[in-house]
């Protein structure tokens, strides 16, 4: 086997061990992947009418008054509903407090841009965790 074939085999072996639960792999696979994010949200919500118009992975939300957050997948659909999909390999760090913190930061960032209109957008937060 030549060097290129060996490198290819090593890459295939590494790929076999990766899943969406792996932060780096999920980030690369879902970045600008409208169809992939739509599929995940359609499965979670049991709806076929979701059409994503924006996807950002590992989006930082800064908080000048406390702890900031990084959203795994932040998506906006065609009706301007916002989705935060958090993907965790374990229950450690994936509790309700973290979900509430991320949701409040997302609200704060959204509301400052829409307060003039007095329109409060719908935001949905999903935390996907691996269970044994």
Other beta carbons within 10 angstroms of residue 40's beta carbon come to 22
pLDDT band (50, 70, 90) for residue 90: low
pTM of the predicted structure, to 2 decimals: 0.65
β pairing state of 82-88 and 69-77: antiparallel
The 10s digit of each residue's pLDDT in 101-121 is 777 777 777 776 555 555 555
pLDDT, tens digit, for every residue of 1-32? 788 899 889 888 887 777 766 777 778 888 88
**How much of the chain exceeds pLDDT 70, in percent?**
76
Asked whether 36 and 18 are in contact (CB, 8 A), the reply is no
At 88, give phi and psi (nearest 5°).
-125, 140
Four-point Cα dihedral 111, 51, 57, 117, nearest 10: -10
Burial class (CB in 10 A: 0-12, 13-18, 19+), 1: exposed
How many alpha carbons lie under 13 Å from residue 1 in its C-beta half-sphere? 8
């Amino acid at each position: 086997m030549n060097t290129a074939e060996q490198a290819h085999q090593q890459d295939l072996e590494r790929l076999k061990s990766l899943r969406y639960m792996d932060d780096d792999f999920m980030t690369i696979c879902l970045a600008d992947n409208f169809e992939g994010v739509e599929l995940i949200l359609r499965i979670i919500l049991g709806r076929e009418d979701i059409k994503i118009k924006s996807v950002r992975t590992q989006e930082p939300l800064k908080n000048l008054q406390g702890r900031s957050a990084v959203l795994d997948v932040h998506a906006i659909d065609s009706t301007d509903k916002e989705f935060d999909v958090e993907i965790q390999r374990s229950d450690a760090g994936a509790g309700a407090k973290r979900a509430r913190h991320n949701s409040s930061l997302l609200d704060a960032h959204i509301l400052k841009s829409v307060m003039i209109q007095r329109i409060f957008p719908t935001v949905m937060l999903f935390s996907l965790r691996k269970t044994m």
